[in-house]
Structure 1
């Protein structure tokens, strides 16, 4: 069993919870509160900005031109391709994409980004890959799951979103990252493998929390409320 197959098996419980989440199910059913979609796009735009920067830090830690090219290409994919699912959501709620950019992060998105940045700044290339991989992998499986379960047609309100994430481009992104991590894992210590496993599982958990963050319209506690001291 490859290292990434082992990661997937050990985190199947989280993947299943993601598939069953009401926001994800709402995409399949074509029925999500517009306020939840808006909350999601605001946070995901900033999350993907951070994701590109972490790709850049991974690029800096790469030791081969092949790996440098990989991270360069994936930055371009987010910039030029991964905006299309956002546009599908924005069209559905009737809000311009630009108006949902530049907003502050809710707690879960803030924590997720800092989790990845921690491994990018202080960890190995393997830890970075472990922290990054759950994002494309869970979205790929969400897309395939929704495509198989609901078999959406072109008149489905989220057809473009589902088709994008079930598409070969996201599958290639996931498989390429998996192969990179599997190759890296062949030459590392058991302790580093444990750190990668921890980074991967926490990112899976934060993917689940990200969906809940959007669904519940998660916000920071009000700064205007003063603490009560006994």
Structure 2
């Protein structure tokens, strides 16, 4: 029997292929990515990660069993602690303090992505919330794996790649995918459809997030 994760990946694979081909990621691996583009990406993440942590906490609230509550509560805390520390170091690499980063208004895509995640996780079922957050876990893991062998001649970019391609992050994602398969076994066709719809939307936001950094997106008015 095919695992539900395979069906979900089929829904996202075309988007993922476009992500891998995006000049942001090709520039990351060959070292040609302009530093001001990566700086914009880091500033976007500084606005997005708190919303992502809140979305994970909302999943913990809706989780159907203690193990799942613990998983998403721990991942929410890890996002605040570990990824926050990573991005503080990245901000410092550009000479930007946290207070200065917060003074930059959240760009449209970062704000839209975070808002969509919070809406899906607070207003939807646990399965719908899971559909919304899985692409962020899984696409970063697949991108990290794909780029790890190539790495980057730029030490800053290589460090970012190693963070998401590394074994610890891959194990975290594997646990979430196991849970996804378990949850999907008890869903109706309509419920699976809503989960997949959320996943497709956030996968698109993943592409948009890198593209927004590439364009150094700002508010047009």
Q: TM-score, normalised by structure 2?
A: 0.91
Seen in structure 2, the aligned counterparts of structure 1 residues 102 and 3 have a Cα distance that, compared at 3 Å, is farther
Contact (CA 8 Å) 2:53, 2:79: kept in 1 or not? yes
User: Using the alignment, how far apart are the partners of 1:165 and 1:23 within structure 2?
Assistant: 16
Deviations 1:153-202 (A, max 9, x none): 7x733221111100122112211111111111111111110000000011
Task: After TM superposition, give the deviation of residue 97 of structure 1 in Å.
Answer: 4.8
Residue 156 of structure 2 aligns to a residue whose secondary structure is coil
Bigger proportion of residues as helix: 2
Q: TM-score, normalised by structure 1?
A: 0.88
User: Using the alignment, how far apart are the partners of 2:83 and 2:76 within structure 1?
Assistant: 10
Moved over 4 A (4+): none
What residue is the counterpart of 1:212 in the other structure?
Answer: 211
Task: After TM superposition, give the deviation of residue 34 of structure 1 in Å.
Answer: 2.6
Seen in structure 2, the aligned counterparts of structure 1 residues 179 and 114 have a Cα distance that, compared at 3 Å, is same
User: Using the alignment, how far apart are the partners of 1:98 and 1:169 within structure 2?
Assistant: 30
Q: Mapping of 1:1-230 within 5 angstroms? A: 1-87=2-88, 89-90=90-91, 92-148=93-149, 150-152=150-152, 156-222=155-221
Seen in structure 2, the aligned counterparts of structure 1 residues 41 and 87 have a Cα distance that, compared at 3 Å, is same
User: Using the alignment, how far apart are the partners of 1:31 and 1:101 within structure 2?
Assistant: 28
Gap regions ≥5 residues in structure 2: none
The alignment of Structure 1 onto Structure 2 pairs a total of residues equal to 220
Contact (CA 8 Å) 2:31, 2:152: kept in 1 or not? no
The structure that has the greater radius of gyration is 1
